[in-house]
Structure 1
Amino acid sequence: MAKPFIKWVGGKGQLIPEITERLPEYVKNGLPYIYVEPFSGSAALALHLLDSEHPPTAVILNDINTDLVNLYNVIKSYPHELLACLKVIQSEYDQLEDKEAKQPYYYAKRDEFNTREADDIRHAGLFIFLNRAGFNGLYRVNSKNKFNVPIGSYKKPNFVFEDTILQASKALANVEIYNQSYEDTLSHLEQSNKSELPAFFYFDPPYKPLSESSSFTSYSKDSFDDEDQEKLKSFCDLLDKKGYQWLLSNSDTTNLDAENTYFDTLYSNYKIERVKASRSINSKGSERGQINELLIRNYSNMDLFTKLNTFYQNEHFEKFINTLSLKGILQYDYFVNWAKVLNNIEPIEKELNLLNTAVGKDNIESVLFDIFESYPDTIKVIPFLLAIRDKSVDILIDKTNYVHKNFNFKQKYFLKSDIDSLVDFVMQSGLGELIKNKQIKSLPDYCTGVEVGLDSNGRKNRGGTQMEQLVESFVAIFCHEHNLSYLAQANAKKIKDTWNIDLHVDKSSRIIDFVIYNAKYNKLYFIECNFYNGGGSKLKSTATEYIEMSRFWKDQNVEFIWVTDGKGWIGTQNPLRDYFERHNLLINIDMLQNGYLEKIIII
């Protein structure tokens, strides 16, 4: 495993888990990208990424420290020669019995190092020797670029760490290494990035000292003061405008003075997080311990998701299509709403039983007339038996002259002539013959079957409801885990009443399936969800509507997330792709299950 080969003040080995957690999604997911580290130092993060399961496509390392860059290049190209040099130094140093005997050797090698006349391999060996034998592993030079760290108190320091050097050499094999200003890394990137891959910059500049005694920023003969910190921020602004993602670490000035919000003010328009770090190198042992450090970045997971480089659009869209749920989301209550069916039957159950006495009667017409005349309420059952909900119907009785006859099933009074017409209607519809011939043996049972058939029209709505319930299960857990609040089936008034946020709406009746609110960033996220088992024009119209809806809410700083799924999209990909290519959020159930809400909502 590749790991740092030198001790380095502010080395990021201990912060790798925190930094890795905040890497852009394309880095985590193994997509092609270029990694750029303008202040390489110990290159802990670079070596970690190079040795990971999905290493960067290309790496650019840079440092202003000429001695350090020489060490990189020697380890990259001449690892075995360097090890041979270190073995000689190790043998010579080990023969010296105590610190008093070792001091002349150490200072002689420091003087040799400061002449900078040795060849590159020898100079790199001296660098490692001084780094391992010097006081607390410091690298510090004065204004004349002279290394001035005194000897340390290590009894038996090790200079020959063969596996580490060989693994680092392997990792650095194809890395571009420069000894220039951090600003020059941008031109190197743009010259080499012919494929226009995304590029991720990690900045680990000399930290702003928290006190005079902690000022160890002289890694080169030039100091790095507040003016340099502010110049670096301007460079970060430039990268942000060019669309590059970057993450920067630095000291937290509020550790010693809560009022000293230097970086909070300087980087106020970017995301700032505080993480715990240990001071592993400090001149005073009593001051080594847990303190806050800052991680600052110009991207959120939402930004990266909505601004995916064109390079990734096909991959992401194919992932969406390939993970669509082909088996559907049917649950047991999808098929029939039995409560609704029985509620519709109950008010007419008496009348159905009365009409049931006509089953099997040869003189069906006279029997129906007698029932309708004696029990007029039975007339209202006729539409139920024919699977219609209308109180009256108009029947075309003369096609030539376009003449209609009206049949009203719920008028207040029925004359004999009205009843004759209604009996004729029952017979002409074919229902009468079925009753007469006992093809319908039980009108209550038959009517229950009719209601079940009519209820199938509600499956579309139930499918939508079940999709909403499924999505809400993820939304509820997500909001609970991250201390966010949400509303289901919310309109502008409900949002105003809950969070005191005013929204201009395109429709007064507009209802949003789910609204998530992040109070920390005063940010709203709207989620619309649907599921399509089949194709049709509805899918295209929905995609078109959501394109406009997304634009409408974006103008009000609201992020619109579309959660959709179903095999209907397999044959209707064009409108879906049209929506996706406009850089709007599009996820399916599989993506919900794999934590995509955490990837796209700023926490």
Structure 2
Amino acid sequence: MIRPFLKWAGGKTRVLPELLQHLPKGDCLIEPFVGGASAFLNTDYPRYVLADINADLINCYRVATTETEALISVAKTLFQHSNSKDEYTARRRSFNYQRNAGYGTNIELAALFLYLNRHGYNGMCRYNNNGDFNIPYGKYKNPYFPEQEIRQFAEKANDTKAAFVVADFRKTLTSTAINKNSAIYCDPPYLPASDTANFTQYHHSAFTREHHRQLAKYLKCVRYETDAAVVISNSDTPATREIYQHYQFHEVSVSRSLGAAVASRKKAGEVIGVLNVRRFRYA
């Protein structure tokens, strides 16, 4: 198994064995929510369209692909000399200033994003209402520098000529050349199992229940019009089963990775859903 070089809340590493059983063969895998890119790294499609609304994430992936050695060099220096709360706070401030002012280079911003990802609390990615990255310092003694994983990612991306796109799911599902040989895998921010478990702000605004309803509608339309295969994953909640009611669900159980304490992390139900065009009447 190839591991992602970024930590990512809700990443699919733990459920890959189950997920891979339900991803069909095809000419191209399209991911409107690429996130940590576990599915990309561990599948064998000839082509990939990897999209996300998070421009910082996509920039990091583009730089890792095209400027691999430069990213490793700049990021490694940050990892070697900046593991303290004061250094982290300064680097976070610099990252927010550079991205908002259009000051930093893509390589600098990608290296800072990787640094913040590996040094911030629990590897989370969150922004405030002003669009600033605001995850606190994680207090890790020796944060792992994923040099090998960056190289593996770059090799896979270059071999498959993967396209990295900054776009929301609506644009991805309407502007991409999707056909019957395409496979679409959607791993959107999860519907919360409870109000206290609600965390969906991977971008400047939350991914709401209404967004899930829109996603379900778009996927239903794409499936009907193109016959492309559609697979989703989400938390196993009544809301999930109601919104994605036309899917055949396969239940999986994984450990949550966002708990405040390891001892409090419990097994949580998730589902992998496969959309079959013959199971609904399009309206």
TM over 0.5: yes
Partner of 1:138: 124
Alignment of 1:128-277 (within 5 A): 128-159=114-145, 161-173=146-158, 174-190=161-177, 198-242=181-225, 243-253=227-237, 261-277=238-254
Q: Secondary structure at the match of 1:40?
A: coil
Partner of 1:79: 68
* 1:45 is aligned to 2:75: no
Alignment of 1:87-102 (within 5 A): 87-93=76-82, 102=84
- The offset of 1:239, in angstroms, is 1.6
Residue type at the aligned position of 1:167: Q
Q: Secondary structure at the match of 2:7?
A: coil
CA RMSD of aligned residues (A): 1.8
Unaligned runs of 5+ in 1: 50-54, 95-101, 254-260, 304-520, 522-603
Q: Which has the higher contact order (CA 8 A, sep 6+)?
A: 2
Q: Secondary structure at the match of 1:41?
A: coil
Residue type at the aligned position of 1:20: L
Higher helix share: 1
Inter-partner Cα distance in structure 2 for 1:286 and 1:229 = 31
Distance 1:142 1:68, change over 3 A: same
Deviations 1:9-49 (A, max 9, x none): 0000111100111222xx2xxxx521100000001011111
Residue type at the aligned position of 2:202: Y
Aligned pair partner of 1:104 in 60, 70, 86: 86
- The offset of 1:185, in angstroms, is 2.0
Q: Secondary structure at the match of 1:172?
A: helix
Residue type at the aligned position of 2:259: N
Q: Secondary structure at the match of 1:11?
A: coil
Deviations 1:172-203 (A, max 9, x none): 1100110011122234432xx6xx56110000
- The offset of 1:290, in angstroms, is 1.2
Aligned pair partner of 2:257 in 272, 280, 300: 280
Q: Contact conserved, 1:202 with 1:248, CA < 8 A, in 2? A: yes
Distance 1:295 1:197, change over 3 A: closer
Identity %: 32
Inter-partner Cα distance in structure 1 for 2:262 and 2:199 = 16
Aligned length: 272
Alignment of 1:329-478 (within 5 A): none
- The offset of 1:2, in angstroms, is 4.0
Q: Contact conserved, 1:137 with 1:281, CA < 8 A, in 2? A: no
Deviations 1:381-427 (A, max 9, x none): xxxxxxxxxxxxxxxxxxxxxxxxxxxxxxxxxxxxxxxxxxxxxxx
Inter-partner Cα distance in structure 2 for 1:214 and 1:171 = 35
Q: Contact conserved, 2:191 with 2:239, CA < 8 A, in 1? A: no
Inter-partner Cα distance in structure 2 for 1:213 and 1:62 = 29
Q: TM-score, normalised by structure 1?
A: 0.44
Partner of 1:19: 19
Q: Contact conserved, 1:33 with 1:197, CA < 8 A, in 2? A: no
Q: Contact conserved, 2:247 with 2:275, CA < 8 A, in 1? A: yes
Q: TM-score, normalised by structure 2?
A: 0.91
- The offset of 1:222, in angstroms, is 1.5
Inter-partner Cα distance in structure 1 for 2:210 and 2:175 = 24
Inter-partner Cα distance in structure 2 for 1:13 and 1:226 = 25
